[in-house]
Amino acid sequence: MIHWKGVYPAITTKFTPDDQLDIPLFEKNLRAQLDAGVAGIILGGTLGEASVLTTGEKEQLVRFTVNNVAGKVPVILNIAEGSTSEALQQAQYAKAWGAQGIMLLPPMRYKADHREVVTYFKTIAGSTDLPVMIYNNPVDYRIDVTPDMFDELQVCANIQAIKESTRDVTNITRLRNRFGSRYKILCGVDTLTVEELVLGADGLVAGLVCAFPRETVAIHRLVKAGRIAEAIDIYRWFMPLLEMDIHPKLVQYIKLAEQQEGIGSEYVRAPRLTLIGEERERILQIIETGIAGRPVLPEYLHLED
């Protein structure tokens, strides 16, 4: 069972200098996430560079993560495919490899219309008993999953949650007004974390949590405990770092932050390239300024998600 509340890192895939999976470093980061109090692990998202992973690598990552977390939190596999048949195959893999849930994007590389999007989601959800979170990110992926679409998707009992990445905070209120508690809502944009939690989001699918897990979980739990002023103090410190999450090079930026925190490396897989020159120095300055000025966190692990 997935409660769909709390912080879910869209965890990065770690590579060695010779472009192999770096499982020991992946495990180090995973342990930092669990120690910080995250509520689940999402594999194969944009940050996970899923589009350049082989099926065998995805299987290795899922099986390793499932075994490593040992039931402490659910492991969720993202599905972002261009064809319904391939998405169906990925859903089967998710179940076979031991994942406890699916995060599902609309069809890739084709701007499907209302009927096509709803049919796609219903087809994938209907093929599995795994719980599903719909990832709605029209800014990056061109398709807006509208409230009318979510209305039609209510018949799929295992479609349980929405990753809300429209960047329109009022969408939280629209969804709550229309659906009440039918769907859990998770903020999917780091720079809107506090705003959407205050408006009623149940949790976060976060990016900078990969490098700063304790600060991210602390903000979430403080807001949910009504300690808004304390959360805002951390959030204001965090904002220059969080803005890396909404840049096209979020993978490179966040991986560089992980490296500076000692829980990752900056190695990415082509066609992405590691940062160089002025850009790397500029991003390093943001990261190092943040690390140098990080706030002392209040005790937060005893607070509920």
Q: What's 215's domain CATH number?
A: 3.20.20.70
Neighbours of 70 (CB within 10 A): 8
Whether 300 is covered by a domain: the verdict is: no
Q: Give me the helix-helix angle, 228-242 and 277-292, nearest 10°.
A: 160
Sign of the CA dihedral 194, 195, 199, 200? Answer: negative
Distance between CA atoms of residues 104 and 115, nearest Å: 17
Comparing CA positions, the residue from 96, 90, 2 lying closest to residue 40 is 2
Whether 298 is covered by a domain: the verdict is: no
Whether 143 is covered by a domain: the verdict is: yes
Give pLDDT tens digits along the chain (305 positions).
899 999 999 999 999 999 999 999 999 999 999 999 999 999 999 999 999 999 999 999 999 999 999 999 999 999 999 999 999 999 999 999 999 999 999 999 899 999 999 999 999 999 999 999 999 999 999 999 999 999 999 999 999 999 999 999 999 999 999 999 999 999 999 999 999 999 999 999 999 999 999 999 999 999 999 999 999 999 999 999 999 999 999 999 999 999 999 999 999 999 999 999 999 999 999 999 999 999 999 999 999 99
**What residues contact residue 94 under an 8 Å CB cut-off, 6+ apart?**
62, 77, 79, 102, 128, 130
Comparing CA positions, the residue from 56, 45, 70, 67 lying closest to residue 21 is 56
Residues 155-187, buried b or exposed e (16+ Cβ, 10 A)?
Answer: ebeebbbbbbbbeebebbeebbeeeeeebbbbb
Residue 36's domain spans which residues?
Answer: 6-292
Distance between CA atoms of residues 21 and 295, nearest Å: 33
Comparing CA positions, the residue from 237, 268, 231 lying closest to residue 250 is 268
Whether 301 is covered by a domain: the verdict is: no
Whether 204 is covered by a domain: the verdict is: yes
Work out how many domains the chain is built from and give that number: 1
Distance between CA atoms of residues 229 and 296, nearest Å: 14
**What residues contact residue 51 under an 8 Å CB cut-off, 6+ apart?**
80
243 burial level (CB within 10 Å; 0-12, 13-18, 19+)? middle
Q: How long, in residues, is the chain?
A: 305
Whether 76 is covered by a domain: the verdict is: yes
Whether 299 is covered by a domain: the verdict is: no
